[in-house]
Amino acid sequence: MSESFLLGIDLGTTGVKVLLLPSDLGLERGESVEATVEYPLSFPHPGWSEQNPHDWWRGTIRAIRTVLDRAQVDGRRIVGLALSGQMHGATLLDGRGGVLRPCILWNDQRSARQCREIEDRVGLSQLLKWVGNRALAGFTAPKLLWVRANEPEVYERIATVLLPKDYINFRLTGELATEYSDASGTLLFDVANRRWSAEMLKALEISPRILPEALPSTSVMGRVSAEVASLTGLAAGTPVVAGGADNACAAVGTGILAPGDVLTSLGTSGTVVAPTAAPRVDPGARVHTFCHVVPDVWYLMGVVLSAGGSLRWFRDVLAAEVQARAEAEGYDAYDLLMVEAETVPPGSERLFFLPYLTGERTPHGDALARGVFFGLSPAHSRGHLFRSVVEGVTFALADSIAIMRELGIRTGVVSVTGGGARSLTWRQILADVFGVRVRLAHGSAGPALGAALLAAVGIGTFSGIPQAAQQLKSRDVGLEPRPEVARLYRSYHAQFDSLYPRLKDSFAQLATLES
């Protein structure tokens, strides 16, 4: 095996993945090894979503040790590491670096009222000018305002607010920092100029002192401490590179670097990412504008909050016996459910699913939206229901594709990554609904691979991200849309899009009912 190695770490919503690979990114030699450790997700109230940062840290330590043991690699041969992570989470620390409360996550919707207050106070046009995005409950700034309004004793003790991956970087190194791509999702960052927005901070009366320094993604932000070395098996002094937001790292790890590239990621959330050469902002604020980890590149992003999350809900709540059988027989429950879905014709025989289990970002920006099965009849089986969930998530992703086309983004070929990308059936549904060729992106490591690439650039193995990413382009020729199925899906997609406007007021009324 190679003499030296890198670690790419992806701090996800359901678990942390650690990827070990040669320091020259020699993936063709088949030397990559990975380990994943899951941790709990808490829903204290409807619409709330939290995690304990200490669970992230314990999971990261365990995953690092596991991957080193699995690869039989001495930790002293790790020459650098970087993290990718779930965006937007408000991780609040006191003056000694202690965690003040559970992290409020990206899919938490409690701050809807604060979003309205922000837009009333600042105005949408100023928001788009100052930070490139509208106020949404997933972002960090509304969470801070919620804590200020509802937990003032906690707010008064905040010395630093970090994003999830930056908390792990802090625990690794003792240094407080973030980087441009993750800072872009706080609603406090001037994405056009890559700096904290003094205007936004002043308007929201948030002290700049609680914000960490923002760095380029390939900066060495610190080094592994002696204490952490004893916990993980890494060498003290190992460089820790700043890293990036999960979607930006997934884009890098799949070679999505320049205008004309488009990536769909099928994780807990679903995203569509399209790089741009300038900070292009949607006048309707339906898609986000963020900094890429690549210098002088930005990207547009549409988000479906519950993509794989909808499939997971279905598995856990409506297919428990399938999950039990899969565990007993050594299968993946999703694979078994997809076999059932394959027996159902496209369109699930007029059954629709709105995947708004935790509200929705693109294109509705509605924290109060909820999941719906529409058209259910006694003729529908579990296979129909599961296929309709997959199709509903795909229709929701296609809404982002349509908006990007309106903004002049070319979408001739779409790469796909994430856990859902393993399914040939789902990739074909994507091709049919999007109406373009869909190819499987390089590997399945996604954000972890992108983080490792940033580490390679940060420690100087490569001169830049494009040079490092050259070997990561997919060789998959892709799946073409089937004309007759694509035509059918166009009519079904139109019906799907007609449902939310009819239900919007009902969702708002639902939120007022006593529970």
**Which are the catalytic amino acids?**
246
Count CB neighbours of 29 within 10 A. 11
Q: Distance between alpha carbon 38 and the CA centroid of its chain, in Å?
A: 16
CA dihedral 336, 342, 343, 349 (to 10 degrees): 120
* CA-CA-CA-CA torsion sign (72, 76, 81, 85): positive
CA dihedral 111, 113, 116, 120 (to 10 degrees): -120
Say how many CA atoms lie within 13 Å of 336 toward its Cβ.
18
* 3 state SS of 381: coil
* CA-CA-CA-CA torsion sign (459, 465, 468, 472): positive
CA dist., res. 223 & res. 217, Å (int): 15
Please list, in sequence order, all residues whose beta carbon lies within 8 angstroms of the beta carbon of residue 501, skipping any fewer than 6 positions away: none
CA dist., res. 375 & res. 428, Å (int): 24
Report residue 454: phi and psi, to 5°.
-60, -35
CA dist., res. 192 & res. 180, Å (int): 11
Q: How far is CA 143 from CA 46, 91, 97, 135, 457, in A?
A: 16, 10, 19, 11, 33
Report residue 165: phi and psi, to 5°.
-65, -30
Say how many CA atoms lie within 13 Å of 177 toward its Cβ.
23
Strands (E) located in 246-382? 263-266, 270-276, 288-291, 298-304, 352-354, 372-374
